[in-house]
A and B are shown apart, each in its own frame.
Chain A
Amino acid sequence: MKHSDYTSSMLEQVRNSVKDIETIAEKETFEFFENCVPYDIVKKIGNVLITGCGDSYCAAVATKPVFENADTSTKTGMVPGTPTSAFRNIEFSRYFNTYGGWNPLTNERNALLVISISGSPARVNEAALRIKKHGGTAIAFTANPEGKLAGNCDCVIPMVLPDYDLAPNVTSYYSSVFSLMMFGFYMSKAKAQLSEKQAQACREGLLEYVKSYDEETMERLSVQCFELAKKWEEDGVDNMDFIGDGPDYATAFFGSAKMVESFGGLTTNDDSEDWCHINYFIKDSDHVGTFVVANEDSPAFSREVETIKLASMIRKHVVVITDCDKDIFPENVEIIKVPKPRSVWMHPLMEHIPLDFVAGYIGCWRGRMPFRSGEEPYCQDGNASRFRNSEIEIL
């Protein structure tokens, strides 16, 4: 069987990602965001806090630079933005300012962007209620505008997601990343940190990047990932290790989560520096698959190249997801070449696609239900008790 003969809800989501993002983009214009969060609210935001569970936390890490506009070089055309922090959900809900104290002078300038497609997990609701208790603004990014989270927030960005059967979610991730990025441009525009023209250019640049994953590219990626996954299955790869820095760490983290959700694979993730200090020493290196996300314009690129060289000396299965040419990397490393966007911070929107393909194909072969649905003992604890009915405490 060839790659296109395999199908699953997850693979469908990956294969349709360009089309789906374009559909989302048609709706999510600057006017749309202005209707959801009016200028006067956005303008007073002095501190952006982003949180969510699992993939949503990855989306927060992935989009932090857009709000910070950390890269002030002319390359991105962006200007200094707003201080931004991405939080693990439990960290925001229970620990943020718990020990250090809230600052009454700046509390009302805090805006918490809470990401949850269903809007039902207790922890996201807890986060929204907490920021409101301390005088800040809660903004929900959810596909359930009538849901609990929407009700607990001051403003709602109603996301429209295409319908798919239960699967490790890819659609929800790229739609969260896209919406957050768009909201970042909109906020920068409202705060006069970007001109109308610059904000429009950012949006167009992003959509142009989405389009660069054209049919031919998607086909190439699908075939390459199919062959890679097949080889790893044959070679008995039983542990996967993901490496990425800054926003690319989000891609690494997301990729590792998809392997767990799709087939229960054992995974770990780290940055390119700490990997050399810890995960470098993982045993049985012939059965460990290593993915490194290393884009040419990443400030950590030179370190990533060094790490890849080290990995290639001890491991048989090293794969680099990159937008640069192969000759920089050792010969025994497999390169998955992805399109290069206009600005490096756009990468997290699409560069996870190869990882999704790998997770999707292996998921088909292993015959595991997504999220072990219906499998013992997992099903004894429905999602309800594990995260929907978790006790809410507002500190």
Chain B
Amino acid sequence: MDRKSYDNSLLRQAMSMERYAKIVYDAVLPQVEKLPMKEVWDAQKIFISGCGDSWLAGIAAKAAFESVTKIETNPMRAIEFSRILSNKNLGYSPNTPLVILISFSGSGSRVVECARRCNKYGANTIAITNNPDSLLGKECRYCICTGLPKGDEYQPGLITYNASMITLFLIALRIGRVRNKISYLECEDMQKELLEHISRCQKEYEGFAERAFAIAQRWKDLKAEDFIGDYSDYATAYFGSAKVIECFGGYTTYDDSEDWCHINYFLSDPERIGRVVVANEDTPSYKRLKETIAAVKILQSPCVIISDAKKEEFPDTMEVFSFPKAKYFWMQPLVQHIPFDMIAGYIAEIKGIPNFRKDDERYAAMGDQRSGEIVVL
């Protein structure tokens, strides 16, 4: 099989990540620097919300926010924020909490509902969107436009996910700087490192694509994919699972390294379930992840490991995608979703399935109805 004839959207997006990262960085940085000091200072708690990939960007950025701002940060499912979260958490002090709402289009009902709820109770809001004229852009007190060129290829979301993460990281740095938790020098270095880490990793992608294509051929007929990751790396795991569904509708499941041992370990036909584990060397649960990987080995499941550790750290029966170490550990989620994006993209192409079930008109007909009624509680 000739890999070149199985080109796909996720692969193209992965290959142009460096270029888009620079576009987003240049567009976002000046906007972030204008966020007023007083309001940034007032934030006693931070919520990050959005739907699907946007929520995952919040999880991916949680460690960065905690490390750099030292403020309690809660990524929250959009429905949880807009309907379930107690009002007591909103507007209990001026400009608090700071609520960051993410939506590429800015039109999803649920994020708009979140923004309106914040406005009702006096929380501060920042929208991250590519459409500042959208409902979300208008509802929020501040709007950061990610500046991605209109009309380019962004589906299934990969560049948009990265744009959300880069924007979140830059907001975190702004907050950390204003609150004097990081110095000018650290801030400058972290900003620089954001782009440099992406560039360093980009050099690996041609080789990754080759291996991803080989794995896709072996994995295309598996029963399901099962993803494992902890804390911010849970976002990478979950994102991989979402891409499987979006690309070819595959069956997936996901969990953390501890609960996986209690539940998903028992899935039937383990040899027909592809396991993907995100296990970075400096993460506090690294040893637990390695124990979990040992259990995966017993089950003889095909397994891909995404890590910044050396290949030799893991069983030699497993495929390891080794990433360069990030100078700041919290930057790893920016890039580590790439290997499985490639695998998912290739499987879809090999199977001849279009993204988002476009081959089945039942799915296409529902497109508009995904938003729904807005209720402000």
Interface residues, chain A, with chain B CB atoms under 8 Å away: 53-54, 57, 68, 70, 72, 80, 88-91, 93-95, 98-101, 123, 239, 245-246, 257, 260-261, 263-268, 271-274, 276-285, 298-300, 302-303, 306, 309-310, 313-314, 368, 371-372, 377-378, 380-381, 385-387, 390-391, 393, 395
Contacts and interface: CB of A to CB of B under 8 A. Distances in A.
B5 interface: no
B84 A94 contact: no
A9 B72 CA distance: 44
Given A70-B86, A274-B77, A390-B288, A281 B356 contact: yes
A261 B266 contact: yes
Interface string B214-247: 0000000001100000110000000001100110
Contact of B245 (A72, A89, A281): A281
22 contacts: A70-B88, A90-B259, A90-B285, A95-B63, A95-B230, A99-B67, A100-B72, A100-B73, A266-B268, A271-B77, A271-B80, A272-B79, A277-B52, A278-B52, A278-B245, A281-B249, A299-B83, A303-B79, A303-B372, A378-B265, A387-B258, A391-B288
B161 to A, nearest CB: 13
A107 B83 CA distance: 30
Given A273-B79, A306-B372, A390 B291 contact: yes
Contact of A371 (B110, B266, B300): B266
Contacts of B372: 276, 302-303, 306
B362 A313 contact: yes
A395 B288 CA distance: 14
Given A100-B71, A271-B79, A377-B299, A123 B377 contact: no
Contacts of B353: 283
Contact of B253 (A54, A266, A280, A299): A266
A260 B79 contact: no
A94 B284 contact: yes
Nearest to B261: A386
A368 B84 contact: no
Nearest to B86: A70
Given A264-B266, A281-B245, 18 more contacts: A90-B256, A91-B230, A94-B231, A95-B63, A99-B330, A264-B267, A274-B52, A276-B51, A278-B52, A283-B249, A299-B83, A302-B372, A303-B110, A310-B370, A314-B362, A377-B299, A390-B261, A393-B287
B66 A387 contact: no
A73 to B, nearest CB: 11
B367 to A, nearest CB: 10
Closest A-B pairs by Cβ, 6 of them: A283-B249, A264-B268, A277-B52, A54-B262, A70-B86, A100-B66
B230 A94 contact: yes
B252 A265 contact: no
Given A261-B266, A280-B370, A386-B265, A273 B110 contact: yes
A53 B248 contact: no
A284 to B, nearest CB: 7
Contact of B79 (A54, A245, A372): A245
A172 B128 CA distance: 43
B80 A313 contact: no
A283 B258 contact: no
Nearest to A54: B262
B181 to A, nearest CB: 10
Contacts of B241: 268
Given A91-B256, A377-B298, A100 B67 contact: yes
Nearest to B369: A310
B15 to A, nearest CB: 24
A283 B263 contact: no
Contacts of B110: 273, 303
B313 interface: no
A310 B357 CA distance: 15
B52 A239 contact: no
Contacts of A239: 224, 251
Contact of B258 (A53, A245, A266): A53
Contact of A372 (B88, B266, B285): B266
Interface in B86-132: 86-88, 110
A267 B254 CA distance: 10
Nearest to B55: A274
Given A90-B257, A260-B266, A277-B370, A283 B51 contact: no
Given A54-B263, A271-B80, A368-B268, A280 B72 contact: no
Contacts of A306: 369, 372-373
Nearest to B77: A271
B79 A99 contact: no
Nearest to B53: A277
B25 to A, nearest CB: 23
B84 A260 contact: no
A299 B280 CA distance: 39
A239 B285 CA distance: 30
Nearest to A395: B284
B206 interface: no
Given A278-B245, A300-B83, A378-B299, A95 B285 contact: yes
